[in-house]
C-alpha cells in the first residue's frame, strides 16, 4: 500500500494547535479545516486551478480533463434522458477567485493569510473610520431600511409601479452616496402572518446566507450549511476516498476493511469469519459493509464537488458542477498533497515561526490588500 496523505493529518493537526495558540485571533473551526481538505480534492476547483495556471504541463492536464468530460457539453444520466449541461471551469467561480490555490500552501498559512478574511464578517473591518479605503462606504447603517410597503392584492397599474420603483431608486442612490450596507438584500415580507410566523420565516431565509454561526467568523461571503454531520464523518469519508483512489481493484468490501472506520460492521464480520468464508454473500455484515462504504465514497465525492463552489458540508449531488477526473489525475493530486505535507515548511518549527510573524500583522490592512486583489 502506498503512503497516504491522510496519514499525515494527525501530526499536522497537533502542530496546528500550536499555531492557533500563538496567534489566538480568528480561530478556525473543524468545518474550516475540512473545507480546505475537500477543496484540495475538488475536481471542479482543480480544473479551475489548471485553467488559470501558466504552466504548460497544467494546461495540458486541463485539456485532457476537458476532453474526458466531453468538452463540458453535458454529463449523461444526471438529469433527463439527454443529461445536463455542465458549468464550465473556463469561467472562474468566485470561490476560487477569493480562496485561491490550495495545493502548495498548508492550512495554517492558507487560513491566516487569506481565507479568514472572507469568513470574518465585513462589518469588523468597516465599523471604524480609520484605515477605510476611499472606495468603501464611510458609514455603516446597522438598522433595517424600509424602502416602501406594498399590498400585492391590489392591482399594480403603471402609476403605482412607477411610484414604487421611483422610491426604491431614491433610496438606493442615497445609500450609495452617503453610506449604507456592505451587503444588502431587498426583500418582500408577508405581514398578513403573525409576528412569530414572520420572524421564523425570515430566520429560515437568512440561514441560507449566514449558515452555521461560529464566533465572529460569520460572513455573508462564505458560510457553512447547517448540518447534523460530525467531524468524524468528514474524516472517515476522506480516508475511504483516498484509499479507494490508491487501490488497484475496485472492491468495496476490502476497502471497508482497510479503512477500518465502520467498526460495527467489521466487528460482526470478524466474529463470524468462518461462516463468511463458506458463503460470504449470506453474511449480513458483508453487504452492510459494502453498502456503508459505497455511501461514504458518494458523500466524499459530493463534499469535494460542492466545496469547489463554496457549498460545504453538502452531501447532495451538485448537478451542474459535476466534473469527473481520470483516476491518474486524482492520484496525481494526492501525490502532490503528500509531497507538500512532508516539506520542511510544514513541520513544527517552521509553522511556529510563521505564527510568530503572522500575529504581528495588522489584520485590517491585510484585509484591504486581500479584498482589493479579489474584487
Q: How confident is the model at residue 253 (pLDDT cuts 50, 70, 90)?
A: confident
- This prediction has a pTM of 0.79
Residue 41 pLDDT more than 90? yes
Angle at 40 between CA 34 and CA 43, to 5 degrees: 120
Q: What percentage of the chain has pLDDT greater than the value 90?
A: 40
Angle separating helix axes 30-40 and 284-307, nearest 10 degrees: 90
Q: Where are the domains of the chain?
A: 6-125+227-374, 127-210
**Cα(196)–Cα(171) distance, integer angstroms:** 29
State the average pLDDT over residues 281-304. 82
pLDDT digits (tens, 9 = 90+) for 57-112: 999 999 999 999 888 775 544 444 444 556 788 888 889 999 999 999 999 999 99
Q: What is the mean pLDDT of residues 184-198?
A: 78
| Dihedral in degrees, nearest 10, Cα atoms 184, 189, 194, 196 | -30
Highest-confidence segment of 7-11, 132-136, 203-207, 248-252: 7-11
DSSP character string of 103-118: SSS-HHHHIIIIIHHH
Neighbouring-strand partners of residue 140: 180
Say how far residue 370 (Cα) sits from the centre of its chain: 19
pLDDT band of residue 21 (cuts 50, 70, 90) is: very high
Question: 3-state class of 140 per DSSP?
Answer: strand
Amino acid at each position: 500500500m502506498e503512503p497516504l496523505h491522510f496519514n499525515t493529518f494527525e501530526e499536522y493537526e497537533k502542530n496546528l494547535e500550536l499555531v492557533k495558540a500563538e496567534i489566538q485571533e480568528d480561530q478556525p473551526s473543524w468545518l474550516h479545516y475540512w473545507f480546505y481538505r475537500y477543496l484540495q480534492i475538488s475536481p471542479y476547483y482543480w480544473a479551475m486551478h489548471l485553467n488559470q495556471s501558466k504552466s504548460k504541463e497544467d494546461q495540458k492536464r486541463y485539456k485532457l480533463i476537458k476532453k474526458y468530460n466531453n468538452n463540458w457539453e453535458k454529463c449523461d444520466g444526471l438529469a433527463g434522458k439527454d443529461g445536463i449541461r455542465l458549468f464550465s471551469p473556463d469561467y472562474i467561480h468566485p470561490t476560487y477567485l477569493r480562496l485561491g490555490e490550495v495545493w502548495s500552501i498548508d492550512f495554517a498559512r492558507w487560513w491566516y493569510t487569506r481565507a479568514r478574511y472572507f469568513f470574518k464578517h465585513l462589518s469588523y473591518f468597516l465599523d471604524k473610520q480609520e484605515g477605510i479605503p476611499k472606495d468603501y462606504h464611510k458609514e455603516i447603517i446597522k438598522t433595517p431600511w424600509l424602502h416602501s410597503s406594498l399590498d400585492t392584492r391590489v392591482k399594480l397599474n403603471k402609476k403605482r409601479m412607477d411610484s414604487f420603483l421611483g422610491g426604491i431608486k431614491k433610496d438606493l442612490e442615497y445609500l450609495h452616496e452617503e453610506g449604507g450596507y456592505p451587503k444588502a438584500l431587498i426583500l418582500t415580507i408577508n405581514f398578513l402572518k403573525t409576528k412569530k410566523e414572520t420572524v421564523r420565516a425570515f430566520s429560515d431565509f437568512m440561514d441560507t446566507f449566514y449558515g452555521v454561526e461560529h464566533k465572529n467568523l460569520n460572513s455573508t461571503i462564505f458560510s457553512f450549511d447547517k448540518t447534523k454531520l460530525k467531524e468524524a464523518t468528514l474524516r472517515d469519508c476522506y480516508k475511504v476516498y483516498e484509499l479507494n483512489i490508491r487501490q488497484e481493484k475496485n472492491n468495496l468490501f476490502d476497502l471497508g476493511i482497510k479503512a477500518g472506520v465502520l467498526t460495527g460492521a467489521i466487528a460482526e464480520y470478524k466474529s463470524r469469519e468462518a461462516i463468511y468464508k463458506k458463503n460470504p454473500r449470506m453474511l449480513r455484515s458483508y453487504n452492510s459493509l459494502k453498502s456503508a462504504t459505497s455511501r461514504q465514497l458518494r458523500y466524499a465525492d459530493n463534499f469535494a464537488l460542492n466545496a469547489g463552489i463554496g457549498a460545504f458540508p453538502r452531501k447532495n449531488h451538485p448537478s451542474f458542477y459535476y466534473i469527473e477526473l481520470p483516476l491518474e489525475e486524482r492520484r496525481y493530486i494526492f501525490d502532490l498533497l503528500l509531497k507538500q505535507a512532508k516539506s520542511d515548511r510544514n513541520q513544527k518549527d517552521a509553522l511556529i515561526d510563521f505564527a510568530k510573524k503572522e500575529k504581528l500583522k495588522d489584520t485590517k490592512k491585510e484585509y484591504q490588500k486581500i479584498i482589493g486583489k479579489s474584487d
